[in-house]
Structure 1
Amino acid sequence: MNQSLNPHIALKIQQQIRLAEDDLVIYIEEALDNSDYLKTGKEKLEESQFRNLVQVADTTESPEVVKNFLCYQVGRDKKWGTNKNSLAAKIIKDIDSRLKEKARKIADISDDIDFKPILMELIRRYLGYGYRYLKYLNAIQDKKIELIGTPRSK
């Protein structure tokens, strides 16, 4: 975020980002639960692949770079999915719609706030929660644990 922001406004932005966390968790869990990504055998998406996406988001200030990396991953193999119901497509759609809308609403706190750094913070958190949830889903699939909650449905 802009270092020259009024401290009161910067605090308010951080509070709004924290208030958005429940929605971010829900969005990424819905994307994972409702996509066709989770496959058996070697086609299963591994946590390391998702972690690479999180690392890309952590090293850029550009949502387009994140989406570009996802497209690259889709081109490499089928683990992210290849159709409109794929995990990659759902993540890109969330970035372009739900996360962007939330970032704009948060940026409306003040006229001189750029929403892009807010969007990147939301993307980073969204993907981080996705990494955690993927770990959980893969453990269920590998029969290492039993389902402890009901996955969200469409």
Structure 2
Amino acid sequence: MSNLSEQQTDLQVQKGIRLAEDELVILIQSALDTGKYGDLEESQFRNLLRVSDTTDSVEVIKNFIRYQVGRDKKWGRGKGSLAEQIIEDIDGNIKKNAQIIAECCQSDYKPIWLELIRRYLGYGARHLKYLKDGKI
């Protein structure tokens, strides 16, 4: 593939990711607003975000969430929990969006999936901050 067509593909992928952002924000806000969880601190959510930024594996991210659930109840447990909803979003809507973007751009979906997850979690950290400290 030529350099120019690689750049065009990258631009198409970035545009697809930007177009998916509204849905990502809505998904994570809904998870935080309706999911069952304890006194989850912003720093704990940011640790999850840091893990997502330092790995190229979706399974590592989900493993970290499950590890946190095993440590304490701040992420919630079982059906309806925040942890469960985040994993469902990662494996469901976020993955589906990544596959659609990849198909349109004729690209590999896994890096797109990771980028969407990172943005989703980043928006989650912001919304959690609002829920904890900034309610109007």
More helix by share: 2
- Residue 110 of structure 1, CA deviation: 3.7
2:50 matches 1:55: yes
- Residue 17 of structure 1, CA deviation: 0.3
2:130 matches 1:136: yes
2:86 matches 1:91: yes
Q: Deviations over 1:5-63 (max 9, x none)?
A: 611111011011011111100000000011111x4xxxx10000000000000000111
Q: 2:64 is paired with a residue of what secondary structure?
A: helix
- Residue 4 of structure 1, CA deviation: 9.6
**Alpha-carbon distance in 2 for matches of 1:26, 1:35:** 13
> What is the aligned-residue identity percentage?
57
- CA contact under 8 A between 1:100 and 1:119: conserved in structure 2? yes
**Alpha-carbon distance in 2 for matches of 1:104, 1:110:** 10
- Residue 83 of structure 1, CA deviation: 1.6
Q: Where do 1:14-93 residues align within 5 Å?
A: 14-37=14-37, 39=38, 44-93=39-88
Match of 2:111 in 1: 117
Instruction: Name which of 87, 107, 127 aligns with 2:121.
Output: 127
TM-score calculated relative to the size of structure 1:
0.83
User: Which segments of 5 or more consecutive residues in structure 2 lack a partner in the other structure?
Assistant: none
- CA contact under 8 A between 1:36 and 1:86: conserved in structure 2? yes
Q: Aligned Cα RMSD in Å? A: 1.5
Q: Deviations over 1:120-147 (max 9, x none)?
A: 00000000000000011011xxxxx443
